[in-house]
Structure 1
Amino acid sequence: MIAAFVIVAAQIVTGVQQGGPPRDARPPSQTGTAVIRGRVFAADTGRPLRRARITVSAPELGTDSRQISTSPDGKYEIKDLPAGRYTVTVARSGYLTLRYGQRRPLEQGKPLQVLDRQLVDNVDFTLPRMSLITGRVFDEANEPVSAVQVMAMRTVYFEGRRRLVPAAGFVQTDDAGQYRLLNLNPGTYYVSAQLRETWTVTEGGAPQTLGYATTYFAGTTTATDARRVTVGVGQEASNTDFALIPGRAATITGTAFDSRGTPLVGQSVSLGQESRGPNLNFMFSSNSGSVGADGTFTIKNVAPGEYKLAVGGAIDKGPIKIQERAAVPIVVNGVDVDNVSLVTSQGWNASGQVVVESSSGQPPAFTRVRVQGRLMQPELDPRLPPNADNGRVKDDGTFGVTGLFGPALLRATTPDNLVLKAILHNGRDITDVPVEMRSGEELSQVQVILTDRMTTVSGQLTDANGAPISDGTVIVFADDAQKWMENSRFVRSARPDQEGRYQMKGLPPGEYLAVAVDYVQDGMWNDPEYLDSIRRHAQRFSLGESDARTVGLKITAVDAP
């Protein structure tokens, strides 16, 4: 179990609850009569922190948030707020960013319930110093190496499995080989280093090109053999030194054609290394090769590592040019990679109509609705140029989604007063079914049904003696394990407000399990293994369409993941 590292408190001083105006499909930023105020302190010294940035957001504020900085004595006050459930975040250079109610590393924040004409005082934050990892990177001759890209990584469930993802931005070593990885939460990390540089040596009278493989502390090319680095609150893990491991550079050869079988003459086949995570995504460019008249390409001097090959081009389709792309992941381990085939595609498209089932009878506003395709094989995403109108819903409810590659789940992003009910194609429910079409084909006449008749699950958290408590995290998930997937509609989490009440809206009808745990890292509920480990502690309940269920929960002792 990870120890608590911050205490955040809120005290209601005065207030009278009053009704507010009804919300429409796109609530504008409202002005109210409530006030949030408090102070920000440094956890290590107890002194007030000036220039800490406070940000509050809520559905009632629309797409706008309110920001203010603390005074020299660490005080802040945000006025004229409408009633609502607020997310409050504080950030300050040199310290960890915290959300209201967050007590431990990577924990989800809590909502702050604010009533009309209410002064919510003593919303205080105690910011811990950021943790950091420092060290030096050397070559195989123990000489310091500059311009090495160093990254802290951690293990999370992402894209269908547990994997290493970036924990923060990357840094580069200086001329002494030194690096400093900042803004780290306390926890356990892996440190990786990459240098895209090759050189030639003579072995046995023949030239040989070498390069550095992606290397993990303390000197290994495989993450499973890497040594983990643990840092506490505000601690520095210094002397995290290691040497890069050289390996034979390879040559990649293959062919690149468009969807009509025409060589992509003159187009560049790019080679890149990608580091993806739930909140960070980095693409580092490497070598490239030009496509010849016969469609062949060659990329030389590729250091060992995992890469993505990508190429793009355009084909004429009547008076317009259609952009096409292709991508494929490859692994280089010192052996030449031959016969790589790249065939570009425009991807497949989806189009249809968004329908809103409204209990108010008011005409729907689609300005905040967008239909998207969630790719099930993101490693094959060739990343077409962005299109700001892709998936945007027009005033008449029609939409078009382009550039989908491989199987994809169709999803709709909605304002807070609407929820996705179903996605139908020719009467077939494809809401939670990946769909795949051939290149250039279109899945037309898709019906996306949204509704404002959403379910509500709420309740009070209590301790073992039945006394209300305001800490913990509630996880609600489908009884059917087949619905446990990343970002599933059937899995939700919520933290209680300052009175210990939690609420979640928009779960689809079905059979559910509910558990309240003392601590869980944000996003851990995406891992089916974690859900399976807590289901024996769960309380079962059913949700019908538009149901409002009250589920009281006691905190369950579950080992922290």
Structure 2
Amino acid sequence: MVVHALARLSALVSSNPLYALITLLALTSFETAVAQNRSTDSPENGQIAIRLSGQVVDTSTGNPVPRAETVCKGEDDTSTPPVTTLTDGEGRFECKGLRPGRYRISARRDGYLRSEYGSKGQGRPGLPITLTPDRKDERITIRLIRLAAVNGRVFGEDGDPIKDVTIQALRDRFQRGRKVLLPTAYARSNDRGEFRISDLEPGRYVVVADRMNYLRPRPAHGDTSETGYVTTYFPNGSEPSQAQVLLLEPGADLPGVDFSLKKTRVFSVRGRIARPAGSEPLRGNLVLAMPNTLMRASTPIREDGTFELHGLPPGSFPLIAMMQTDGGQSTASSIVEVSDRNIDDFVLTPTVSVTIVGKVRSSASGEPLPQASVALIAAGEGVGRPGSVSTVVKGDGAFTLTGVNPQRYRLEVGGLSGSRFYLKEARLAGVNVLDQDFDVTSSVTVDLLLSADTGSVSGEVIEAG
């Protein structure tokens, strides 16, 4: 009966061109579907298909994490796009049709810290997994760490809520070999004084509130009675050393980080950029770094070279003016000391920026240089000091730093982490300035020497007691 049906179909096809066309389209669609199915389940060129499956779980609870994005990315064949999937309701995922080779598997989801398979701790890289033809069905587990949050309110001395206060979460970081507090996230208080800083990595934090008085409307000229809110470190400190350190565990949603801001007298600074009479109009901004905070303020410089800052509490403030004219770029920097009155004629004297040209060399002949960057960091304590510049090193090792303000700097080279290289020498005009501050007064050359002659350190961490 089947033979009879096939014979009849063959007769119809041969006698009617329309039937022939329909049959051809049906066969083509069938072959396309088979090819697509084969492409998702097996690699090209007849290589063995490998399937990698696993589960994404919460580190703290061990519960599965649904709707997490997982990425299987090959290390050996970078031309092949990564395989991306979403976990199901049980946190399970599958990456099909993988070729043999080394892969890194990562997972992420809102509310969690991104993590890689094999990671030994928070923020640490994972380990690659090698897929071979004799291991066609690998199963792994990726553990995600839940992010944390802090919540609170901001009040004035009268108990009323304060709107538009900037609250920052700060963490200790090492910068140029020193431990400093750096901002990681911020929020602003609403009309009820409420704020929430979310998506914080578990760890130790300091929280600071600042009304940013220097952005308030300026007072009348000569008026010294203006008041502003004092920058406050939780719970009620005026310095970072007086702050309470908050320990946030994975998934913590900490309430009660409340501030009561006190008022203080604040003052204005009015000044000008020193320049010859009849000079062309200026275009630029004046940047101010707030003391004991990690915040900056910026105000435009008028075409006639005058500027105003207001709402400043007593203290020392680094200032830098960055200006652009038809003749090029220039800068002016100084420290303004605010005590108990307004300053009405503060003068900044411009200096012409200089250019530093350099070359990165390697002691390992024939070995390609890593993708590095070079930075001049303005010398001084803390962050927020204006004037730092950076650039990327070209493939031949050459680099150029433009717009360098004549002042004191420290040199840093980035991009060496994970490579075999370290910075062995940094010679400025022939003098080795590695790990020390130096003055830049004119355009100079810098020669950097990278060495691959590194050692290794091994050890064991044991629990005390």
Same fold (TM over 0.5): yes
CA distance in 2, matches of 1:440, 1:427: 11
Q: Report whether the alignment pairs 1:310 with 2:305.
A: no
What is the CA-CA distance between 1:340 and the residue it aligns to? 5.8
Q: Which amino acid aligns with 1:324?
A: S
Question: Could you tell me how far apart the structure 1 residues matched to 2:422 and 2:277 are?
Answer: 41
Equivalent residue for 2:387, pick from 378, 382, 385: 382
- Structure 2 residue matching 1:208: 3-state secondary structure: coil
Q: How does 1:122-201 map to 2 (within 5 A)?
A: 122-166=139-183, 168-197=184-213, 198=216
Change (3 A) 1:171 1:275: farther
1:39 is displaced (CA, Å) by: 1.1
Which residue among 365, 375, 385 is the counterpart of 1:373? 375
For the residues of structure 2 that align with 1:136 and 1:438, how far apart are their CA atoms?
46
* 1:519 equivalent in structure 2: none
- Count of aligned pairs: 406
> Which among 438, 461, 464 is matched to residue 555 of structure 1?
461
Q: Whose Rg is larger?
A: 2
Secondary structure of the residue aligned to 1:555 is coil
The CA deviation at 1:170 is 0.8
Q: Distance in 1 between matches of 2:166 and 2:341?
A: 24
Q: 1:163 to 1:65 in 2, by over 3 A?
A: farther
Gaps of at least 5 residues in structure 1 are: 1-30, 455-507, 517-553
Summarize the alignment of residues 101-140 of structure 1 with structure 2, pairs less than 5 Å apart. Answer: 101-102=118-119, 106=122, 108-114=124-130, 116-117=132-133, 121-140=138-157
Q: How do 1:29-428 residues align onto structure 2 when only pairs under 5 Å count?
A: 36-42=52-58, 46-55=62-71, 60=76, 66=82, 68-73=84-89, 74-78=91-95, 80=98, 83-84=101-102, 86=104, 88-102=105-119, 106=122, 108-114=124-130, 116-117=132-133, 121-166=138-183, 168-197=184-213, 198=216, 208-257=225-274, 266-273=282-289, 284-288=296-300, 290=302, 292=304, 297-303=307-313, 308-314=318-324, 321-327=327-333, 336=342, 339=346, 341-352=348-359, 354=361, 357-358=364-365, 369-375=371-377, 377=379, 379-382=384-387, 390-393=391-394, 398-405=398-405, 406-409=408-411, 411=413, 413=415, 419=421
Q: Which has the higher contact order (CA 8 A, sep 6+)?
A: 1
Q: Label 1:161 to 1:417 Cα distance change in 2 as closer, same or farther (>3 A).
A: closer
Counterparts of 2:445 and 2:154, CA distance in 1? 51
Please tell me whether the aligned partners of residues 82 and 116 of structure 1 are also in contact (alpha carbons under 8 angstroms): yes
Name the Cα RMSD after superposition. 4.6
Q: What is the identity, as a one-letter code, of the residue corresponding to 1:393?
A: K
8 Å CA contact 2:289–2:296 kept in 1: the answer is: yes
CA–CA distance in structure 1, aligned partners of residues 393 and 109 of structure 2 = 36
Q: Measure how far apart 1:178 and its partner are.
A: 0.8
Deviations 1:75-105 (Å, cap 9, x if unpaired)? 233463674474x44321123333444465x
- The 3-state SS of whatever aligns with 2:256 is coil
Could you list the per-position Cα deviations for residues 431-464 of structure 1 after superposition, in whole angstroms to 9, with x for gaps in the alignment? 83558564441316x4x5667xx4xxxxxxxxxx
Q: CA deviation at 1:137?
A: 0.7
In the superposition, relative to structure 1, how do residues 429 and 75 fare at CA in structure 2: closer, same or farther (>3 Å)?
farther
Q: Deviations over 1:93-147 (max 9, x none)?
A: 123333444465x452342342554568443234343222111111221111222
Contact 1:150 1:194 in 2 (8 A): yes
> Do the aligned residues in 1 keep the contact of 2:60 with 2:250 (CA within 8 Å)?
no
Identity of counterpart residues, as a percentage?
20
Shift of 1:177: 1.0
Tell me the secondary structure at the aligned position of residue 224 of structure 1: helix
Shift of 1:70: 2.2
Instruction: State the distance in 1 between where 2:417 and 2:178 align.
Output: 30
* Pair 1:255–1:233, CA change in 2 (3 A): same
Contact 2:153 2:193 in 1 (8 A): yes
8 Å Cα contact 2:172-2:179 kept in structure 1: yes
* CA distance, structure 1, for counterparts of residue 413 and residue 248 of structure 2: 39
Measured in 2, the distance between the counterparts of 1:193 and 1:82 equals: 53
Matches within 5 A, 1:511-530: 514-516=457-459
3-state DSSP class of the match of 2:241?
helix
In structure 1, distance between residues paired with 2:342 and 2:137 = 65
User: Given residue 236 of structure 2, which amino acid in structure 1 is its aligned partner?
Assistant: G
Is the CA contact (8 Å cut-off) linking 1:288 and 1:299 kept in structure 2?
no
1:441 to 443, 458, 461: 443
Contact (CA 8 Å) 1:375, 1:404: kept in 2 or not?
A: no
Whichever structure has more helix as a proportion of its residues is 2
Give, as a single letter, the amino acid of the residue that structure 1 aligns with 2:320. Answer: A
The letter for the 1-side match of 2:324 is A
The question of whether the paired residues in 2 share the 8 Å contact of 1:252 and 1:336 is answered with yes
Paired with 1:210 and 1:442, the residues of 2 have a C-alpha distance of 47
When residues 160 and 39 of structure 1 are mapped into structure 2, their CA distance, relative to the original with a 3 A threshold, is same
